[in-house]
Structure 1
Amino acid sequence: MTPTETVLAALTALFVDFDPGAAGQLLKEDYIQHNPAVPTGAAPILGFLPALKESGLSTTVHRVISEGDLVVLHVTYENAQAFGAETQVAFDVFRVEDGKVAEHWDNLQAAVPADQTASGNTMTDGVTEVTDKEKTAENKALVEGFLADVLYGAAPEKITDYISTETYIQHNPMVGNGLDGLGAALQAMAESGNAMKYEETHMVVADGNFVFTASEGKLGTQDTAFFDLFRVDGGKIVEHWDTISEIPAEMAHENGKF
């Protein structure tokens, strides 16, 4: 199986069928866990499956992108109180090694209904199809430039070199569509003492028109994980999804968030 096929089979075994036998065949025994609340290794997550099944957890995969041995899933979990809220939107990242899932990172955020978002968009709607495979490297470089110049502040005045001035569809529930919406949200956050600061990007995964990044930094004074997904069209970023969550000081393992 390809890494994508392996990851989707593992997700189905874990969170659709709740089948520890099938899941166990797809996870390495020394599976490295980065979810702060779950101990590392395959055994803890397999042992949790009966309770997840009893909870009525359901899973919807919206987007799948992959590069090399990394596979990124954009997911909604319903009846997900075990994960912290009734409905959670997540980015799950898996590393595949020797045909099995070897490592997992994620970032979850409570879902906000469309009628309560600044843009009127949900956190997961929008384009899903991976296209422009031949532009993967070009699009990855564009997003890396955006990170360096805009999010890290090397040259924020270059923002229109990266984000389309005509179409910028926003799925962060606090941010309106367009560059004006982004600017207004960033200003409001700064004025409220919750300025967003990116400090280190640990992962960039590109697949055609989609580029995913996993970063850490600060939201106000709180250590925070920022998982972002960008869609590129015509050489500009035209759509953005994300999940933002606090990085706790204590975790169920010693692997760290990243």
Structure 2
Amino acid sequence: MTITETVLNAFSALFIQFDPEAASALLAPDYIQHNPAVPTGAAAIVGFVPVIQQSGMTANTHRVITEGDLVVMHNTFDNAQAFGAETLVAFDVFRVADGKVVEHWDNLQPLSGPNPSGRTMTDGATEIVGREKTAENKALVSAFVSDVLHGKAPEKIGEYISAESYAQHNPQIADGLEGLGGALQMMAEAGIEMRYDATHMIVADGNFVFAASEGVLGEAHTAFFDLFRVEDGKIVEHWDTVSEIPAEMAHENGKF
């Protein structure tokens, strides 16, 4: 199996087929868990399978990108009250080694929206194209993260985001540079700080580039998982999930 197939099969066994035996065969016993509420190790997540099945939770995958040993999935979980909301939008990141899933990160946010431009948190483009430009697109988004999100040179935002077409899927923000600027201004006027302090991974596959970061939103220690679509050397679409990082977790692995 490819890296992607290993992850998709493991995800299906856990959240679609509810098959503990199949899941156990695809997860390393010492599987490293970064979800704050789930203990580490394969036995812990496999042990949740009957609970997930009985809850009636269903999963729907919108996008999958792969680079190296990492696979990023953009998912929706419905009937997810057992995990905190009726519907949760998530980015799940899995690392594969020796044919097994060995590590998992995620960031979940209750479904909200549509946003002022009528977009949902999960609709929009899905097709991966231009894989020959993966490195170029990754470099572009990496520079955007450094200059704009980390605040090293925020005035360069126009060099990275398309002024002609920028589709925004954050439930609070409208399309375009104007929508983004307006939302940031409203937050500033309300005294709400949004700050990216560290970016822990960037994964690129063709025209899609994913970044996992942490920082501050308001007064809360926060995880920001962002997915960008690049076209003709500019960022033209954006999805994200934002979630507070709890001080106490079910393991010692940390959020990242």
Q: TM-score range by the shorter chain?
A: over 0.9
Task: Name stretches of at least 5 consecutive residues in structure 2 with no aligned partner.
Answer: none
Alignment counterpart, residue 163 of structure 2, candidates 157, 162, 165:
165
Question: Would you say the 8 A contact 1:92–1:107 is kept in 2?
Answer: yes
Q: Deviations over 1:34-55 (max 9, x none)?
A: 0000000011111111111011
8 Å CA contact retained: 1:95, 1:104? yes
Q: Is the 8 A contact 1:30 1:41 kept in 2?
A: yes
CA contact under 8 A between 1:66 and 1:206: conserved in structure 2? yes
Query: Identity percentage over the alignment?
Result: 70
How far apart, in 1, do the equivalents of 2:41 and 2:174 lie? Answer: 40
Whether 1:42 and 2:42 are equivalent positions in the alignment is yes
Alpha-carbon deviation of 1:118? Answer: 2.2
Question: Which secondary structure does the structure 1 equivalent of 2:88 belong to?
Answer: strand
Maintained 8 Å contact 2:174/2:180: yes
Counterpart mapping for 1:78-89 below 5 A: 78-89=78-89
Letter in 2 for 1:71: V
* Residue 155 of structure 1, CA deviation: 1.2
Once the two structures are TM-superposed, the CA of residue 153 in structure 1 deviates from its matched residue by: 1.2
Within 2, Cα distance between the matches of 1:159 and 1:97? Answer: 37
Query: Which residue number in structure 1 is paired with residue 10 of structure 2?
Result: 10
* Counterpart amino acid of residue 96 in structure 2: V
Shift of 1:83: 1.5
Question: 2:201, 2:70 → 1: CA distance?
Answer: 10
Q: Which runs of 5+ in 1 are unaligned?
A: none
CA contact (8 A) 1:186 1:195 kept: no
Residue 193 of structure 1, CA deviation: 2.2
* Correspondence list, 1:15-94, <5 A: 15-94=15-94
Normalising by structure 2, we get a TM-score of 0.99
Letter in 2 for 1:34: H
**2:82 partner amino acid:** A
Aligned to 2:201: 203
- For residues 164-203 of structure 1, the aligned pairs below 5 Å read 164-203=162-201
Contact 1:139 1:235 (C-alpha < 8 Å) held by counterparts: yes
> Using the alignment, how far apart are the partners of 2:21 and 2:130 within structure 1?
38
Query: Aligned equivalents of 1:113 and 1:168: distance in 2?
Result: 18
User: Does the CA-based 8 Å contact 2:113-2:172 persist in structure 1?
Assistant: no
Give the equivalent residue in structure 2 for 1:102.
102
Structure 1 runs of 4+ aligned residues shifted over 2 Å read none
Question: Number of matched residues?
Answer: 256
